[in-house]
Structure 1
Amino acid sequence: MRFVCLVLASALALVLANGAVQAQRTASPFFAFVVFGEGTDGRPVPMVRSVAERATACPSLRSSHGGTPVTMTPRRRPVGGQFDDVLVCEARYPVGEAASVFQGGRRIDLPVVSLGTPRRVVLVGDSGCRGDTKDKPQPCTGDGFAKVWPFGTLSDEEVGNRPDLIIHVGDYNYRGTPRGMVVPARVSGYGRDMPVSFYDTGDLDDEDEPDLPIGAAYWSQNMEGSPIPDKWAYWRDDFFLPAARLLPVAPWLLSRGNHELCSRAGPGWFYLLDANSPLLGPGAKQQECPPQTPAGWQLGAWPKPPALPFAGQAFPTITNPPFRLKFGKLNIVAIDSANAADAVLFNLDLYLGQYREVARLLAEDRTPTWLVTHRPIWGVVKRDKGGPIPSTPYGFVNETQREAVHRVFPNGIPSHVKVVIVGHMHRFQAIGFDSRQPPHLAVGTGGMELSHVQPVPSPDHPKRPVRVPGLDRSDAYVVGLRDFATMVVNPVDDGTWTSALYGTEGEVLAVCDSRWPGPGHARSVCELK
């Protein structure tokens, strides 16, 4: 079935594209969607979330089969007031029947959710818009919208196709997450304005200079007195409005990207999208970012230099443990890689623990499994952007996860892992190994300004896979594209899968088959069309 992306002329045209969103021109924005989490009993739990601007009470959830409406419960807002004008509510969602969310005279219809093996899975990632930045602006509205920021252009045809599951591999909010800020003198008390770079553990696939703001200090845009704290308006414009048509179509599995670190858009992530909730069962709770200002630091009277925020202390970050969703004859394990350093070993102990838990999950259940995370495990980049491997002209990300995987799985990832699905790199990259390692798909093509293809293909044979020696102790065969696109994956009960990558005009850009790579095959998992 053909996947078509209908490119819209502007954000306003997007809002006019359907009746449900059209009403938001005259009413406060109102969204609803279903998100999956893992229950404390190990079973997948579908939950409905509503997100309503300027609402004072939670909506109700009503099953299509009738019965008593359920009043949804509010989630806890981040401190600081930046999300006070948006109310997020949630409830458990029924399995096997449709339901609708009602708020006043407004209604959003939601899908029938199945816990069986999904047959049609949509992959999207890195969907935000850069905005009016100094060095590389990316228009998010106006004449440049259609060609420069296509997220939200999923067509009526794809909406009508009703996928069984939508996986977003992270990075939802770009306009609201710059790399740094200027701290006003009135905030620090230093007598001068001071530029700082926000904590991140690498964002090295952009076409910029390598950026690795890891050091003794922890600077956060959510510090007290910050001129640019995370706030609802950024999330609304970068994710919810353009995704409004797609949000209610199918249940979502949502990964956390590095733009959702607590030093960036973490407060909104944990309020709006993170799957952690008391609804998952006894002992489960909503997560939130730790305070982003050191204890004792007062506005206008910070400790004098060389004092630095959180120097010598544990940085105020939070990383979710891996969780598993069991869907019939397919398991999906989600890993929070937001805090894994791209090109150096940093937070290695944290990710050794993460992958030991992944190993435990894989050992207790040998159902065919997908690993889903934001940062690549085996991404191929320019040599100066990643950790180099001797005798190759390439760099590799993510160094922290790759080392953790080496140590936890010294004989390779178990064979029932059928694919690793990631984002972070703002392009499409597909890797097939000449070994038993699973294929690796990077689909960071959802809207953020794209990066050039690495490794650079042969000018004589631009669609032929590029051999990359020594990637994870074996040869790898890599294809890539610099195109805005979305992938549709079709799992099969025996654990194999096929997929196709679709461009903004509905054209097939690549086709993939999990059976293609492997020892002696000398090919990628995808072929470019």
Structure 2
Amino acid sequence: MPIPTPFPFRSPFHSFSAHAPGTVRRSRRAGPAPRALLALVPLLLSACASAPPPAPVGEAHAYVLLGEEGAAVARVVVDAPACPEIAIDGRGQPMRVRALPATLAQRPTASSPADSKPSVFPLLTCETVLPAGAASASVLGMALPLPRAEPRRIVVVGDSGCRLKRKDNEFQECNDPELFPFATVAAAAAAWKPDLVIHVGDYHYRENACPDGNAGCAGSPWGYGWDTWRADLFGPAAPLLRAAPWIAARGNHESCERAGQGWWRLLDTRPLLAGRDCDAPAADHVGDYSDPYAVPLGGGAQLLVMDTAATTWRGLKPGDTGYEKYRDTYRKLDALARRAAWNIGVAHHPILGVGAELKNGKLEWHKGDLGLQQSFGSLNPALLPSGMQAMISGHAHLWEQLSFATDHPSQFVAGISGSAEDTAPLPATLPPEAMPAAGVEVRHFSTWIGGFGFMALERMERDGPGEWRVTLHDRHGAVKNRCRVSGRSSVCELAQVQ
């Protein structure tokens, strides 16, 4: 959002406070000021008056992300020559640079070289870790949302960008808010007044240029630079970024061969390091993977956030980089899960979800992510640690709830916040051949196909620490379905939402 006034600038060469023009503050202990010094005052004031003012701030976006152990990171993306000052509990301090403006050399991407280009990030990215227990924080006149020790209202959005992809000839009408409704969804989600926002990944979809003559996406930015991140996320999501801190899960659209450079600059809470920034393709085996981390929710519950950007539904084999990396992820996930009685996993790819495409009049089933099933399953045939209560994911562009007769956590899928839907309607009861994984039996199943909106979770501690209410909302915030999570089981009022 444009900021009409410059950010506060403090010169490193002086720290005295301002007084009325023509006056000089004198120490009580000092004697009369020497006449020579007094003679210099008009000259000094004249020099100050003619000095150029600090460079003004142009575009600026401020938001808060939660990282490991729930640490809150205040971040600002700003068109300014230096990082602004942040006020925490009324005391100012400088923010530190996370990433300087840069034009990054074109690298191999998921698209052909002809449909790719260098990524341009013309703005400065700054950050500050907020101290636990801070009561207020603001930057550039914008109040920052602060985390609650026990968030009770949690919004879930996912798969929110506008799809522009030449390879599959998929060009969503980004210029039509009815057909790309993320701004409407984000405003409705913010109006629900959440304490916390979870985005389950795939923020960025405008990979290739809109074809000539296509009015639906004409003029849209494309590629992996800031202009596209602004159009897909920071512009439409502005009210939701102001409403509450975010937990940002990484999707496959943020892998290194796609929007990974922006992911590391803008959304990941870990340090931005050379070799892990997705700039050099030779280091993608580092930049494409991150350790899982826990965000405490209070009351014996925590969120476990996973980076699954580089998994694949085609599967992984022993010896593959991803296979070994995700085995390591499972081990660390299991250790984190043992620290709390109730654990809700957050991963872009649904390990226990199911979807379908209609081909030649028949449903072609898309089952749970095979790469994760193979790597996790090599360590635990049940796929997930026993301490997991539920999984929240995206990736499939539908809303879905699955609860199992077998010993598996409930699975929710919320890839419904803006990207074009691409999933065929599913039956009220899944046939045996559609089970999301081997050895899994679905007991309760609910879906919403073809709608845009968000999901919400509310704590129900009166009924026990493992009790949650889940509601499904359309793009305007109207409730479409209600569910109850109790331990590892869940059930919804409607099996098929219309």
| Counterpart contact for 1:430–1:479, Cα < 8 Å | yes
CA distance in 2, matches of 1:268, 1:499: 31
| Counterpart contact for 1:256–1:336, Cα < 8 Å | yes
RCO (CA 8 Å, sep 6+): is it higher in 1 or 2? 1
CA distance in 2, matches of 1:362, 1:525: 30
Does residue 135 of structure 1 match 2:169? yes
Does residue 74 of structure 1 match 2:42? no
Partner of 1:332: 303
Does residue 289 of structure 1 match 2:278? yes
Cα offset, 1:359, TM superposition = 1.2
| Counterpart contact for 1:467–1:478, Cα < 8 Å | no
Distance 1:34 1:515, change over 3 A: same
Partner of 2:470: 499
Does residue 475 of structure 1 match 2:441? yes
Does residue 270 of structure 1 match 2:264? yes
Q: TM-score, normalised by structure 1?
A: 0.69
Task: Give, as a single letter, the amino acid of the residue that structure 2 aligns with 1:44.
Answer: G
Q: What SS is found at the alignment partner of 1:33?
A: strand
Task: Give, as a single letter, the amino acid of the residue that structure 1 aligns with 2:328.
Answer: G
CA distance in 1, matches of 2:334, 2:493: 24
Distance 1:147 1:161, change over 3 A: closer
Q: What SS is found at the alignment partner of 2:324?
A: helix
Q: What SS is found at the alignment partner of 1:275?
A: coil
Cα offset, 1:23, TM superposition = 6.8
CA distance in 1, matches of 2:486, 2:312: 31
| Counterpart contact for 2:256–2:284, Cα < 8 Å | no
Does residue 168 of structure 1 match 2:142? no
Task: Give, as a single letter, the amino acid of the residue that structure 2 aligns with 1:291.
Answer: A
CA distance in 2, matches of 1:401, 1:506: 33
| Counterpart contact for 2:307–2:347, Cα < 8 Å | yes
Distance 1:400 1:73, change over 3 A: same
Q: What SS is found at the alignment partner of 2:138?
A: strand
Cα offset, 1:411, TM superposition = 4.7
Q: Please, which moves more after superposition, 397-406 or 481-490?
A: 397-406
Distance 1:325 1:489, change over 3 A: same
Does residue 88 of structure 1 match 2:118? no
| Counterpart contact for 1:321–1:354, Cα < 8 Å | yes
Partner of 1:348: 323
| Counterpart contact for 2:391–2:409, Cα < 8 Å | yes
Partner of 1:237: 231
Q: What SS is found at the alignment partner of 2:71?
A: strand
Q: Please, which moves more after superposition, 166-175 or 351-360?
A: 351-360
| Counterpart contact for 2:196–2:245, Cα < 8 Å | yes
Does residue 118 of structure 1 match 2:112? no
Distance 1:487 1:230, change over 3 A: same
| Counterpart contact for 1:343–1:397, Cα < 8 Å | no
CA distance in 2, matches of 1:76, 1:353: 29
Cα offset, 1:31, TM superposition = 0.6
| Counterpart contact for 1:372–1:422, Cα < 8 Å | yes
Cα offset, 1:96, TM superposition = 4.3
Task: Give, as a single letter, the amino acid of the residue that structure 2 aligns with 1:256.
Answer: R
| Counterpart contact for 1:177–1:265, Cα < 8 Å | no
Q: What SS is found at the alignment partner of 1:153?
A: helix
Q: Trace 1:409-448 onto structure 2 (pairs within 5 A).
A: 409-411=380-382, 413-448=384-419
Cα offset, 1:163, TM superposition = 1.0
Partner of 1:210: none
Task: Give, as a single letter, the amino acid of the residue that structure 2 aligns with 1:289.
Answer: C
Partner of 1:322: 292
Distance 1:22 1:243, change over 3 A: farther
Q: Trace 1:218-233 onto structure 2 (pairs within 5 A).
A: 230-233=224-227
Cα offset, 1:177, TM superposition = 6.1
Partner of 2:82: 57
CA distance in 2, matches of 1:231, 1:109: 27
Distance 1:238 1:327, change over 3 A: same
Distance 1:269 1:432, change over 3 A: same
Cα offset, 1:97, TM superposition = 1.1
Q: Please, which moves more after superposition, 163-172 or 87-96?
A: 87-96
Partner of 1:361: 336
Distance 1:414 1:397, change over 3 A: closer
Partner of 1:389: none
Listed one character per residue, the Cα deviations across residues 171-199 of structure 1 (whole Å, up to 9, x for unaligned) are 11111368xxxxxxxxxxxxxxxxxxxxx
Q: Please, which moves more after superposition, 410-419 or 160-169?
A: 410-419
Listed one character per residue, the Cα deviations across residues 414-444 of structure 1 (whole Å, up to 9, x for unaligned) are 4431110111111112111112211101111
CA distance in 1, matches of 2:202, 2:229: 11
CA distance in 1, matches of 2:275, 2:197: 22
| Counterpart contact for 2:355–2:423, Cα < 8 Å | no
Between structure 1 and structure 2, the one with the greater Rg is: 2
| Counterpart contact for 1:129–1:173, Cα < 8 Å | yes
CA distance in 2, matches of 1:33, 1:136: 31
Residue 356 (structure 2) aligned to one of 379, 382, 402: 382
Task: Give, as a single letter, the amino acid of the residue that structure 1 aligns with 2:93.
Answer: V
Partner of 2:65: 35
Structure 1 gaps, min length 5:
1-19, 179-227, 279-283, 295-312, 386-391, 458-463
Listed one character per residue, the Cα deviations across residues 330-368 of structure 1 (whole Å, up to 9, x for unaligned) are 2111111011111222522221111111112123x1321
CA distance in 2, matches of 1:157, 1:289: 34
Task: Give, as a single letter, the amino acid of the residue that structure 1 aligns with 2:59.
Answer: P
Structure 2 gaps, min length 5:
6-55, 106-118, 210-221
Distance 1:314 1:486, change over 3 A: closer
Listed one character per residue, the Cα deviations across residues 104-132 of structure 1 (whole Å, up to 9, x for unaligned) are xxx21112322x22100000001100148
Q: What SS is found at the alignment partner of 2:340?
A: coil
| Counterpart contact for 1:124–1:169, Cα < 8 Å | yes
| Counterpart contact for 1:430–1:526, Cα < 8 Å | no
Cα offset, 1:230, TM superposition = 2.4
| Counterpart contact for 2:185–2:477, Cα < 8 Å | no
Residue 143 (structure 2) aligned to one of 109, 112, 121: 109
Cα offset, 1:384, TM superposition = 9.6
Q: TM-score, normalised by structure 2?
A: 0.73
CA distance in 2, matches of 1:157, 1:317: 34
Does residue 372 of structure 1 match 2:322? no
Task: Give, as a single letter, the amino acid of the residue that structure 2 aligns with 1:338.
Answer: A
Q: What SS is found at the alignment partner of 1:152?
A: helix
Q: What fraction of aligned residue pairs are identical, expressed as a percent? A: 28
Cα offset, 1:136, TM superposition = 2.8
Cα offset, 1:402, TM superposition = 1.4
Q: How many residues align?
A: 406
| Counterpart contact for 2:189–2:454, Cα < 8 Å | no
Q: What SS is found at the alignment partner of 1:331?
A: strand
Partner of 1:487: 455
Cα offset, 1:70, TM superposition = 1.3
